[in-house]
A = this chain, B = another copy of it.
């Protein structure tokens, strides 16, 4: 559990970095950036905890989640230039955060007695939740809905944890393999521009009619 907590906090930290960076680019003030850091870093985990009945959620009940979120926000605010130059490492960390949240989310859901299929789903939601709310708050369509292999990678990582549990494999090993699989898939997608097929509407999307 201690290993998972460390990885979980690391995931919170890198998602908070992504929220703070997006906030700086939108010229938010310091507090807006800190709010966005906290929300991006903790929304996924808080949603997961509410759904499995773990109240209060760790992101609210444990001060360390707040601390790493604010740290990420403050660093980004005062050292935006440095963070911006780190673009490649940030994407690396972001993929790591996705991986860590996916496996820790699946693991926690299993502990709270969800069935295996739903534990994998909840692991995926934990991974993608933070980026989703970050984009919604900035009035953008969430990246997860548009991007190349992102939610797919999270689901794959979570599935490894769940299948390992079904086969009674040692949890530490499956956690590491699941996280590496998600991380690797996401990195490959970024490097090589992999993506899933897109449906072709027969009408142009500009001709969208209001449907209701």
Which residues of A approach B to under 8 Å, CB–CB? Answer: 18, 21-33, 35-36, 46, 50-53, 55-57, 60-63, 66, 76-78, 80-81, 84, 87, 90-91, 94, 112, 114-115, 117-118, 121-122, 128, 131-132, 136-152, 190, 195-203, 205, 208, 210-212
Residues of B within 8 A of A21 (CB): 211
Contact A27 B205 (CB under 8 A): yes
Contact A91 B60 (CB under 8 A): no
Residues of B within 8 A of A87 (CB): 211
Contact B212 A61 (CB under 8 A): no
Residues of B within 8 A of A23 (CB): 145
Beyond A29-B198, A30-B197: 13 further Cβ-contacts under 8 Å? A26-B205, A27-B205, A29-B148, A29-B197, A32-B147, A36-B145, A60-B114, A60-B118, A66-B118, A80-B200, A91-B211, A137-B141, A139-B141
Which chain B residue shows the least CB distance to A204? B25
